[in-house]
A and B are shown apart, each in its own frame.
Chain A
């Protein structure tokens, strides 16, 4: 059958290149996630402030991020900003910007949800113990919020890793692009390479994302917080 084809995965440094390509995607995701966590926490707290203008702005921001497909935003940043401001953003940088914006919105919403789901009497009992508002935040609210957030943040990371593949469509050399290059290079020696390469990429993504999602699930169960499971 196609038993010759699978060898293309193992000749030369093909596997290595594929993995590097995947690492490219993961890198972008990780940077975006870390930035998103910080900015998201700030955004989340901002969303609980009772200023109507602030509420409106953040709400619009969230809705835009929710409705627009990530690829559209990549296009806007990569093609549009370049045109609009004359700056030449690389695909990578565009990706980090877009995914950070998206991630911040998601994290912000998660943080807001976690903050408002803490029963008000937690704040009150902290105050009753004569703690200042800041102390209540640090010792009562934040530890509980963090517990709720971690599984959700991990879940966001997986989603981000999956979505970052889109950067291939704005020319970033990630795993799919590397795959295409390998297939092209081996067009005559391994004509059926495409099948094996893409199957391998499929498997690689699975091997990266699945363990992460298992960890998230176990943490969620361990810290058993009733409420929404997305």
Chain B
């Protein structure tokens, strides 16, 4: 194991990790927004939007991110729509993530029992107030384990960004393998990089799940 090689190229990995995280976080943020929107639309049974969101969710859950990226980055330009690689990555990730977040929010909402809403209404709160003060807070905290699992999933998905010429972690690793033939070193650093990013989140997820379960909201 050539440790000298490792130290020289650590900065390349750090830069790549930064890119991965930056794009990943944007994707996650947008996914949360899209997910919440779809969930609300579905909950309130808004006529046209509801169908659109349902179709969106099916499309998003049944197609791979890689294919979506290829379409956005290589396909759309032929129609005159040219998007930068970074934006493609964010759009693709959000498109994929939105449906997963929507599902997480939905199960959170479902977990709030009907009687809770009724007791809110009985106090004279309007439907909107019940949603804001009673339902949503409980739904959100129930959703957290699923939301965090989705975050982990989405960060793992970012590994395909190199396919659209982004200098992410996979790109750096492949580059080093190809250029310097230092396969072992490159791969070890790759694994370490992802572990550093994902292990903390994974542990946080496990802790959160235990905490939410123990807090055991309930009468």
Residue of B nearest to A209 (CB): B62
A79→B159 contact, CB < 8 A: no
Q: Identify the stretch in B38-46, B69-77, B132-140 within 8 Å (CB) of chain A at 4 or more residues.
A: B69-77
Q: CB within 8 A of B75: which of A83, A84, A191, A199?
A: A199
A205→B184 contact, CB < 8 A: no
A198→B66 contact, CB < 8 A: no
Q: Which of B56-98 contact A (CB under 8 A)?
A: 58-59, 61-64, 66-68, 70-71, 74-79
A229 and B173 contact, Cβ closer than 8 Å, known pairs A194-B74, A198-B71: no
Q: Smallest distance from the beta carbon of A197 to chain B beta carbons, Å?
A: 7
Binary flags per residue of A197-214, CB closer than 8 Å to B gives 1, else 0: 111011001100110010
Residues on the B chain within 8 Å of A193, using CB: 78
* A75 and B187 alpha carbons, distance in the complex (Å): 8
A162→B191 contact, CB < 8 A: no
Residues on the B chain within 8 Å of A183, using CB: 74
Q: Which of B184-213 contact A (CB under 8 A)?
A: 184, 187, 190-191, 194-195, 198-199, 202
B64→A163 contact, CB < 8 A: yes
A206 and B75 contact, Cβ closer than 8 Å, known pairs A67-B195, A79-B177, A176-B67: no
The interface residues of chain A, by DSSP majority, are classed as helix
Residue of B nearest to A179 (CB): B70
Chain B count of residues within 8 A CB distance of the other chain: 40
A210 and B187 contact, Cβ closer than 8 Å, known pairs A75-B170, A176-B66, A192-B79: no
Residues on the B chain within 8 Å of A5, using CB: 78
Residues on the A chain within 8 Å of B78, using CB: 2, 5, 191-195
B141: Cβ under 8 A from any A Cβ: no
B63→A198 contact, CB < 8 A: no
Residue of B nearest to A162 (CB): B64
Q: CB within 8 A of B62: which of A66, A76, A79, A206?
A: A206
Residues on the B chain within 8 Å of A158, using CB: 62
A169→B163 contact, CB < 8 A: yes
B183→A80 contact, CB < 8 A: yes
Q: CB within 8 A of B160: which of A71, A79, A198, A213?
A: A71
Residues on the B chain within 8 Å of A229, using CB: 107
29 A-B pairs whose Cβ atoms sit less than 8 Å apart in the complex: A67-B195, A67-B199, A67-B202, A68-B191, A71-B159, A71-B160, A72-B191, A72-B194, A79-B177, A82-B183, A165-B67, A168-B66, A169-B160, A169-B163, A169-B170, A176-B67, A176-B70, A183-B74, A192-B78, A192-B79, A195-B75, A195-B79, A196-B75, A198-B67, A199-B71, A202-B67, A206-B58, A206-B63, A209-B61
Residue ranges of A at the interface with B (Cβ–Cβ < 8 Å): 2, 5, 63, 66-72, 75-76, 79-80, 82-84, 158, 162-163, 165-166, 168-169, 176, 179, 183, 191-199, 201-202, 205-206, 209-210, 213, 229
Sample of 4 more A-B contacts, CB < 8 Å, known A169-B163, A194-B78, A195-B75? A67-B195, A68-B195, A196-B75, A206-B59
